[in-house]
Amino acid sequence: MKIISFVSFKGGAGKTTALMAVTSCLIEQGYKVALFEADNNKPISEWSKYAISKNTWHKNASVFIANNEADFESAYNQALETGRDFALIDTHGGGSELNNMVIVNSDAIILPTALTVLDTDETLATFKYAIEVAMAAEIEIPTFIMKTRVPTAKLTQAQNRTSQLLDEMPCLEAGLHSRNAFEDMKFKGLLHQVLRKLEANPNDRLIANNYRTAAKEAESLTNGILAILKDQANAA
Ligand SMILES: Nc1ncnc2c1ncn2[C@@H]1O[C@H](COP(=O)(O)OP(=O)(O)O)[C@@H](O)[C@H]1O
Ligand SMILES: [Mg+2]
């Protein structure tokens, strides 16, 4: 079971959203996915609740509460026992013992960031923090920045500069644009399941096109993360 964690000091960076998008893609590829809720606000539990009520969930996605170190350990064991291929961890902002535990147990760490100066500052600080926690444990964990909420319109000069700065760091080539389809996932459910529903209704054809574009983007992001895990496995 591979563990992918979504980490950032800053709240609102796009961690939960990126995790939701990747979850949908992994399910679509036939994987069994455990979702670890390591944020007290429980966004993932809420998400699955909405989705189940709307029939836009999938049996291969299961939520495990991992709000403290003991719960994290039992979530891990349960996920292993139930044959999950991946555990995706949604973390709370800031540093904590729990977050340190998440970091050292990850196979890949994804740091989502918007293209603002504040977000970038926090992302670089988070990057340094994650590397230091791993170094202290004498392990090397692939840690990648991921651009998200990227405007679909032409970038401003400042956004362009920020984007280029992030490219100097280990940064995933695929990120996520700012899209309603991503924003709405938390109320609507798994991206691909929502897309399927929209496609089934002729009145929703135009919105379905937007969802298809979003799904393609999420798929590129997911494949980028899978490639990192593959490189890591080959190097070991
Ligand atoms: N790619 C995106 N497109 C549109 N809205 C987004 C995107 N990523 C995040 N958001 C929105 O930004 C807000 C914060 O995102 P969230 O994923 O909850 O951040 P975090 O988990 O880091 O606190 C949410 O309202 C979410 O819907
Ligand atoms: Mg969150």
Residue pLDDT, tens place only, 184-224: 999 999 999 999 999 999 999 999 999 999 999 999 999 99
Q: DSSP label at 92? A: P
Residue 139 Cα to ligand 1 middle (Å): 30
Residue 94 CB less than 6 A away from ligand 1: no
Tens-digit pLDDT profile for residues 43-58:
999 999 999 999 999 9
Q: Give the three-state DSSP class for 170.
A: coil
Domain ranges of the chain: 2-235
Residue 30 Cα to ligand 2 middle (Å): 25
Residue 195 Cα to ligand 1 middle (Å): 19
**DSSP labels, 111-152:** EEE-SSHHHHHHHHHHHHHHHHHHHHTT----EEEEE-SB-S
Residue 8 CB less than 6 A away from ligand 1: yes
Question: Model-level pTM greater than 0.95?
Answer: yes
For the domain covering 2-235, report its CATH number. 3.40.50.300
| Beta-strand pair 108-113/143-147 | parallel
**Is residue 96 pLDDT above 90, yes or no?**
no
Residue 126 CB less than 6 A away from ligand 1: no
Q: Report phi then psi at 61, rounded to 5.
A: -115, 125
